[in-house]
Amino acid sequence: MNNVVDKEELNWRLRVFDSLSYPTLIIRPDYTLVSANRKFLELFEEDQERIRNQKCYHFFYKKNTPCRAEDCPVVRVLNTHQGQTVTWRKEGRWEDRVFSPILDDNGEVVYIIESIRDVTRVKMLESELSETKELITRVVQSSASAIVAADRKGRIQLMNRAAKELFGVVNKECWPFDNAEQLYPPGKAKEIMSMLRDETMGGKGKLSGVPATIVSADGEEIPVEMSAAIIYDDDDNESATMAIYNDQRKKREIEKKLKDAQQQLAQSEKMASLGQLAAGVAHEINNPLTGILMYSSMVLEHLETGNPLRKDLECVIEDANRCKEIVKSLLVYSRSTDSRRQIIHINKLVEQSFRLTRDQKIFRNISIHKELDDEMMLINVDTNKLSQVIINLIINAADAMGGRGELIVRTYRNKSAQKVFLEIADTGPGIAEENLNKIFDPFFSTKPKGKSTGLGLSIAYGIVEEHGGRISVKQTGPEGTTFLLELPQYIPAES
Ligand SMILES: Nc1ncnc2c1ncn2[C@@H]1O[C@H](COP(=O)(O)OP(=O)(O)OP(=O)(O)O)[C@@H](O)[C@H]1O
Ligand SMILES: [Mg+2]
């Protein structure tokens, strides 16, 4: 009865063994092949009888001695009593060979089952995948746009080369960012995430070309154009985020230059037409004024001392003289006066101008700092006119500070651009934003009427233009104002 069961069971086991879909072989610990299943025989085009009792090393390698442990998984199974898997390539195919020990009650190996799996497809897919991955990595790395990806918790997982440059981490010894939040000014990352989740802003999980600010490793705030996306897994859960940044600094710089140039152009057009107008008016007024002065002086001469009309007439003459001064200034502004040029070091001109400042009282409570560069800074200018410019800038500065503060006069040059610079900085209250584009207009003044004509800066503008230079407000704010004068450097011909 037992024999029947045993035999039945044996048959059953053999059938199972035979129907295994992987080619499988049973080996004894002495390397003798016991049996191979149908798939194995098909694969090797063998029959059971020929295989049986062959040594495995002979069957596979036509050798007469067992292989070395380092080459042979069977030997290793015998040594370790553990299963072994090896993958190898055979005639263009990839195989996984799995060697499993069958142990007896004492833990000794009684059989080794070797089963062969064709993993060519898996290997091909793996290699395709790794090629695709490599291609994606190369595309991402070589992109001119900065690309950053972070996981669900905001931990940065990827930063391509452009991003490393943009965020200034290229030569950093230690990695400065723990979390993507640190890539933005405080609180901004959260705002970006809620914009990303907002379906009305470019679709769920997407942002396209929005302006943003990022913070580099050195703390610099950089304007960028940002496109971002949330990456969802198959169950629609957020699994990562990625963002692409394009640096806007160059664009902003160009836009600013363009705007400045447009403003300058508008300013010089305005000044040119105002200049023509001023010249016309000055000429027209000059002759009647001369008449008024001449006749009133003649009348004054004929009036005996003590005549009450003398005082009135003196007022007429004084005001007429004041008008003459204004006319003269207007003519300078409109460049209708002669120019006598002379080569002079800008520092010398500055010193002369300070000496010429008539009302020295106004400087009593002002500390004056002169930072005069001692480079060769010659200019070829009408020294009288240029002094007038400098004096007006100094007096304006003193007026702005109400006679109390700090005045800094700085000279320097740009050798390659062949330009000489003069800066006059004060610690006054600054120029109001709405007045900034009016200060060079003739008669624009915020000072009490009668004290000022508002011609100082417009005259200065005309003079500096005449010398091929430029006058501008370099900086203004509650901490003070800096005027900048730019003049062409005089380069003596080499002898
Ligand atoms: N350093 C300065 N700080 C603040 N405001 C200034 C400064 N320089 C000039 N301004 C402003 O520009 C205006 C025009 O200056 P500008 O020199 O042309 O005329 P003014 O000083 O008012 O009169 P004038 O020079 O004829 O006596 C001033 O009234 C003042 O509002
Ligand atoms: Mg002035």
Q: Are residues 411 and 451 in the same domain?
A: yes
> Does residue 428 lie within any of the structural domains?
yes
Question: In the predicted model, is pLDDT for residue 5 greater than 70?
Answer: no
The percentage of the chain sitting over the pLDDT mark of 70, rounded to a whole number, equals 97
Residue 444 structure tokens: 């624009």
CA of 99 to the centre of ligand 2 (A): 99
Q: What is the mean pLDDT of residues 436-461?
A: 87
Predicted pLDDT of residue 71: 87
Q: Of 337, 368, 398, at which residue does a domain stop?
A: 337
Q: Are residues 275 and 285 in the same domain?
A: yes
> Does residue 129 lie within any of the structural domains?
no
pLDDT tens digit string along 372-383? Answer: 998 889 999 998
Q: What is the mean pLDDT of residues 417-434?
A: 97
CATH number (domain holding residue 332): 1.10.287
> Does residue 128 lie within any of the structural domains?
no
CATH number (domain holding residue 211): 3.30.450.20
Q: Of 99, 117, 135, at which residue does a domain stop?
A: 117
Q: What is the mean pLDDT of residues 233-253?
A: 93
Q: Which of 13-27, 47-61, 322-336, 419-433 has the lowest mean pLDDT?
A: 322-336
Q: Are residues 399 and 349 in the same domain?
A: yes
Predicted pLDDT of residue 336: 59
Predicted pLDDT of residue 356: 78
The percentage of the chain sitting over the pLDDT mark of 90, rounded to a whole number, equals 65
Per-residue DSSP letter, 449: B
With cut-offs at 50, 70 and 90, classify the pLDDT of residue 3. Answer: low
Based on the structure, what is the number of domains in the chain? 4
Q: Which of 10-19, 58-67, 207-216, 299-308 has the lowest mean pLDDT?
A: 10-19
Q: Are residues 30 and 76 in the same domain?
A: yes
Q: Of 306, 337, 368, at which residue does a domain stop?
A: 337
Q: Are residues 327 and 278 in the same domain?
A: yes
pLDDT tens digit string along 48-105? Answer: 999 999 999 999 999 999 988 888 999 999 999 999 999 988 888 899 999 999 999 9
> Ligand 1 site: residues with CB under 6 angstroms?
392, 396-397, 400, 426, 428, 431, 439, 444-447, 452-458, 481
Q: Are residues 330 and 433 in the same domain?
A: no
> Does residue 280 lie within any of the structural domains?
yes
| Ligand 1 probe mutation, 332, 439, 463, 471, most atoms within 8 A of CB | 439
**Residue located nearest, by CA, to atom 1 of ligand 1:** 397
Question: In the predicted model, is pLDDT for residue 239 greater than 80?
Answer: yes
Backbone angles phi, psi at 130, to 5 degrees: -70, -30
Q: Are residues 361 and 446 in the same domain?
A: yes
Atom of ligand 1 nearest to the CA of 428: 3
pLDDT tens digit string along 287-296? Answer: 888 889 999 9
Q: Are residues 365 and 316 in the same domain?
A: no
| Ligand 1 probe mutation, 426, 440, 447, most atoms within 8 A of CB | 447
Q: Are residues 262 and 333 in the same domain?
A: yes
What is the domain range of residue 310?
A: 249-337
The ligand minimizing its distance to the Cα of 474 is 1
CA distance 397 to 385: 19
CA of 321 to the centre of ligand 2 (A): 19
